[in-house]
Every structure is written in structure tokens, then in C-alpha cells.
């Protein structure tokens, strides 16, 4: 799987995305790649200051996904059974744009054009270990933006999984500014079942786990209250507890 997190440690929406190295008949092709370590590429192919993600996925196809987890138009691309190593990107024909390179399990080197992916754009991960020096690190500068005029947009407040699975469920919400957050859980009769503080990081999604091990099966109402220096907000949603 590809996991993506924000700076607060919360998983980004639409992630994880499943990827899987492809297993080859060792007797037929003298190799197996199931246990190798594969890395995706992070490229800004449309010069929008955001990274797109490329990898060989389940079944061997070449996938391209946006930073929000959605599929890029034109992907996936059929790709000869899968790859025996991580993808790499470079300008192999000196046209100023990147090409994507991969070795398929049948031994051929494949090259894919990426129109508009300028060599001069800010690309975070061009090959295995990130770059030719194998530094395994990158730095992308960005400018924070105000996600919402509301402090606590109700449409971005929910829990997952819902219904719950096991003894923990994750409560997630988005704040436009730093705030003090309190979370209360009520049953349908309006009685308070649990309460606890939540993280209050601004301009980002926040997450906290709720332990339902001592909570009876049923439907509950979660009420999140947030107060910043000049705003306040409330979000309410249902949580189904099933154990």
C-alpha cells in the first residue's frame, strides 16, 4: 500500500492506495520480485506545484494518481506483467521533458513519454532512493492556504471505520485555524457517554482515536466543538458501534 500523511500525522483522504510487486515464475524467467522493495515516483507533471504519484500496481499496470488519491486521466497503462524494479524518471531524449523508465519482468526496458513534465519542475522523488545520490530525502517548499472560512466545516468531520471495527475508531475533522477542541459522545437519549479533548492544529486535518471497548453496540452522536482566537464551530455526526 501507499500511505500518505499530512504534517499532523493524519492519513490523507483516499489513501492508502494498493500497490503490489508482481511475482514471476522463477523456473520460467529465472527471477522473482515478490520480496523486493519498490518505491513510487513523485513528479510534478503539470507544473501545479503539487506532486503526482506513479507506481506499478496490482496486476502489473502502471498507475498515476493525484496527491488526493484520485486517478490521473489516461491511467492506468497496461504494462507487460509488472516490473522487476522501481520506476525511474529522466530526460533520455534531451527534449526538456521527463520520460518514465521501467524494466518489465520479460526483460525489456520500457520508456513512457510524460508530456509537460519539465525537467526544471520541482520533482520530489525521481528514482529509487529519491535521486541519483540516493539521499532518501527531499524538501518541497509550499505556502499554506486557508482551507475554509468556517473554523470547523461539518462536511469534513466524520469517523472511520463507520460502523466501527474492533475496539478503536478514528475521529477526523478539519480546522481552518488553531483551536481548542473538545469532543463529546452522546447516546440517542442524549446522555453523555464519553468526552475528551482533541488536537487543534490549524489549516490541516486532525485525528484522534476513540476507544469503544467498553461501549455497547448502538448508534451514538459525536459532537465536536472548536474555539479559536476569533471563531467557534460545532460539527455533529453519527457513529455506529458494532463489535
pLDDT tens-digit map of 221-241? 999 999 999 999 999 999 999
- DSSP one-letter code for 29: H
pLDDT at 19: 56
Separation of alpha carbons 87 and 198, rounded Å = 40
Distance of CA 153 to the CA centre of its chain: 21
Separation of alpha carbons 223 and 127, rounded Å = 45
pLDDT tens-digit map of 81-116? 667 778 888 888 898 888 888 887 778 888 888 877
Contact 157, 128 (CB under 8 A): no
Examine the pLDDT at 34 and tell me if it is beyond 60: no
Prediction pTM value: 0.55
pLDDT at 23: 42
DSSP letter string, 84-118: SS--EEE-SSSSSEEEEEEEBTTS-EEEEEEEEEE
Contact 54, 87 (CB under 8 A): yes
Q: Could you tell me whether strands 232-241 and 218-227 are parallel, antiparallel, or unpaired per DSSP bridges? A: antiparallel
Examine the pLDDT at 208 and tell me if it is beyond 80: yes
Grid cell, residue 118, equals 519539465
Domains of the chain: 1-143 (no CATH), 154-241 (2.60.40.1220)
pLDDT grade, residue 31 (50/70/90)? Answer: very low
Amino acid at each position: 500500500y501507499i500511505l500518505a500523511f499530512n504534517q499532523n500525522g493524519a492519513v490523507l483522504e483516499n489513501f492508502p492506495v494498493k500497490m503490489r510487486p508482481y511475482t514471476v515464475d522463477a523456473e520460467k524467467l529465472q527471477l522473482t520480485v515478490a520480496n523486493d522493495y519498490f518505491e513510487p515516483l513523485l513528479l510534478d507533471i503539470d507544473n501545479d506545484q503539487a506532486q503526482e504519484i506513479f507506481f506499478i500496481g496490482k496486476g502489473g499496470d502502471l498507475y498515476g494518481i493525484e496527491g488526493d488519491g484520485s486517478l490521473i486521466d489516461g491511467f492506468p497503462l497496461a504494462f507487460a506483467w509488472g516490473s522487476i524494479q522501481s520506476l525511474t524518471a529522466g530526460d533520455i531524449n534531451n527534449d526538456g521533458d521527463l520520460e518514465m523508465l521501467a524494466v518489465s519482468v520479460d526483460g525489456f526496458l520500457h520508456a513512457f513519454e510524460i508530456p509537460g513534465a519539465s525537467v526544471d519542475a520541482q520533482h520530489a522523488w525521481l528514482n529509487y532512493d529519491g535521486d541519483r545520490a540516493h539521499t532518501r530525502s527531499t524538501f518541497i517548499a509550499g505556502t499554506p492556504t486557508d482551507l475554509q472560512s468556517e473554523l470547523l466545516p461539518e462536511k469534513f468531520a466524520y469517523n472511520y471505520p463507520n460502523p466501527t471495527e474492533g475496539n478503536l475508531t478514528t475521529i477526523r475533522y478539519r480546522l481552518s485555524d488553531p483551536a481548542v477542541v473538545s469532543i463529546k459522545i452522546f447516546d440517542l437519549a442524549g446522555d453523555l457517554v464519553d468526552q475528551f479533548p482533541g488536537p487543534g492544529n490549524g489549516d490541516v486535518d486532525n485525528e484522534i482515536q476513540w476507544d469503544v471497548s467498553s461501549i455497547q453496540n448502538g448508534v451514538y452522536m459525536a459532537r465536536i466543538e472548536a474555539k479559536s482566537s476569533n471563531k467557534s464551530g460545532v460539527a455533529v455526526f453519527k457513529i455506529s458501534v458494532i463489535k
